[in-house]
Chain A
Amino acid sequence: MVDRAGTLTLPAVRSGSLRRDRMATQTLIYVFLIAFAAITVFPFAWMVITSLKDPRDVFRIPPSLVPGLLFTDQPLANYQTIFTELNFARYLFNSAFVATTCAIGQCVTCSLAGFAFARMDFPAKRWLFIGLLATLFVPVEVTIIPEFLLMIQLGWLDTYLPLIVPSLMVGAFGTFLLTEFFKTIPRDYEEAAAVEGANAFQVYWHVFLPLSRPALASLFVVAFITNWNELLRPVLYITNPDLRTVPLALMSFQGEYESAWTLLMAGAVLSILPMVLVYLAAQRYIVQGFMSSGIK
């Protein structure tokens, strides 16, 4: 609007050259956009192309950009191999299980705590909240060594527990997100519920949770993606091949099948594809969620 007003005040004589200028600028902008898009896409594209190549075609110089298998009767041969010979279904299941449990768990623990912070008064509330936020800034390197020793003490190595429990119980960012969101819910709602005799948990469960779907969705996808991609904890806690998550499996493939690039890239595609699909489906929640989690 302002734009148009600004343009209109310019002398009419120049409007022709101005339009041409604008066309040139727009073309230039698209050129840059497409160049950046190409840089963004090319590692993904290279990954997909390699995953669709015959293993013998991989070590050609110069490398060919043709996904050769597409023109045979077994275009997905590499994908078949990682499922039949490398147990990849199991790794996908492990990752999905861990990420889903963490995400649901964070929604529960963070919304419970967020409700208390947003709507209740209790001693030391302010300090507890500040303490919670402060943990966001503590590098994982500081806490991971004692955490590792604790997991050994608990006998949790080579179980799903060390991948799930720490993430599930310390959702500092999620608590912050939901506290802020709960504060925006009008008090009338809970007062109406209280008049009808609802207790705190009922208000939380029947009033606050249903009203908070967008915030919960943001938290869910951010927690899911973060845990799906997590590498450090699986590296530390998992040695049993059956319990490998996808990133850990990819790292072990790399060690065991050093030059099996077609299989490695097929695995990489499968680890990225679910996230890309989730991203396409829930882009708005994801962007909002990551923005607030990154900004803190």
Chain B
Amino acid sequence: MRRAPITPYLFLAPMVVGLLVFRVIPIGVSFFASFTHWNVIAPPQWAGLANYREMLGSADFWRVLGNTSLFAAMYVPGVMIIGLALAVLVNRKLRGITFFRGLFFMPYITSLVAVALAWRWVFSTRFGLLNNALIEVFGITNPPAWLSDPIWALPSVAIVYIWQSAGFVMLLFLAGLQSIDRTLHDAARLDGATAWQSFRYVTLPLLSPVVFFVMIISLITSSQTFEVTYALTRGGPNGASTTLAYSVFQNAFVFYRMGYASALAYTLFALVGTLTLLNFTLRRRWVHYG
């Protein structure tokens, strides 16, 4: 192909402009903003480290960080265990298995808002399916008010997210399982290993790089949840389900504290960045096995 030296840049132009305007410059602007007081209406005022100082000294911030960790502590193991169980279940040649795979993945492509609304109706204190099942079937007399209960609000949000993304995690694990040499299992079975032993001592060790990778992805996902919280609890009751990402949203677009919200966003950035770097460095070391 003969071409002028400018040609590559013509091809790249829309992407590069978009990258600059919507990513690179905003990353810089929000870093700068995190050192200012900025309420959108008045121009930003230099505040030095005031936002970060306020953040570290505020009980709310630590509570939000606690909620974020608690959410991760529920979501990550939950989605991984169910995802792995599903992957093991569908990793075989059985009648209708593609149907089940397709079905389990389906929640992942549906609107989180619509799904959250359906769950809101399931969680509804008096008329909800869940509480009525608990009362009628399991004889529990005083079921929680789920979404408006300070203890249960965050787990409820986690349940919806686990339900929604287990199928995705299933596919990640499935790809891992299918890359494992089947003769290893047959050898283990011939040596008298039970199905569980073969899973525990052959599959899991070989799957460990995938497990690690899925864990990092799930941690990153869990730190950036917004839709379900917005649709179900708005971070409530009384901040009980406010996570770091949701707190950025609230401070920026409910309280219009752009500077403080930017400081929170950069804290989240640092968290996600660390996880991502960890993923890349350790993946390189772990990916060659066997």
Contacts and interface: CB of A to CB of B under 8 A. Distances in A.
Interface stretch (B50-58, B145-153, B266-274): B266-274
User: A42, A62, A125: which has the most chain B beta carbons within 10 Å?
Assistant: A62
A272 interface: yes
A94 B125 CA distance: 34
A228 interface: yes
Contacts of B252: 144-145, 148
Interface in A182-200: 190, 194, 198-200
B235 to A, nearest CB: 14
A175 to B, nearest CB: 6
B42 to A, nearest CB: 13
B230 A251 contact: yes
A59 B261 CA distance: 41
Contacts of B7: 120, 200
B163 A43 contact: yes
B118 A39 contact: no
Interface string A135-173: 101111111111111101000000000000110111110
Contact of B224 (A10, A122, A141, A190): A141
Contacts of B16: 113, 128
Interface string B153-174: 0000000000100011001100
Contacts of B111: 228-229, 246-247, 250, 268, 271-272, 275
A6 B120 CA distance: 50
Nearest to A58: B127
Contacts of A149: 29, 40, 258
A275 B231 contact: no
User: B26, B258, B276: which has the most chain A beta carbons within 10 Å?
Assistant: B26
Contacts of A150: 21, 26
Contacts of A138: 23, 27, 269
A169 B11 contact: no
B12 A147 contact: no
A109 B122 CA distance: 42
Interface residues of A, number: 105
Contacts of B239: none
A170 to B, nearest CB: 5
Contacts of B85: 32, 36
Contact of A229 (B113, B168, B230): B113
Interface string A114-143: 011001111001001001100101111111
Contacts of B15: 109-110, 112-113, 132, 169-171, 175
B11 A62 contact: no
B290 interface: no
Interface string B75-116: 000000000011001101010000010111111111111110
B60 interface: no
Given A29-B94, A295-B172, 17 more contacts: A2-B183, A33-B89, A39-B163, A40-B107, A61-B126, A116-B12, A125-B8, A143-B26, A144-B252, A150-B26, A190-B1, A246-B111, A250-B117, A254-B120, A264-B121, A272-B114, A279-B106
26 contacts: A10-B190, A30-B94, A36-B100, A135-B19, A139-B272, A141-B268, A143-B22, A143-B30, A145-B29, A145-B252, A145-B262, A146-B26, A149-B29, A170-B15, A171-B15, A199-B2, A231-B231, A235-B230, A247-B227, A250-B114, A251-B113, A268-B114, A268-B117, A271-B113, A287-B171, A290-B108
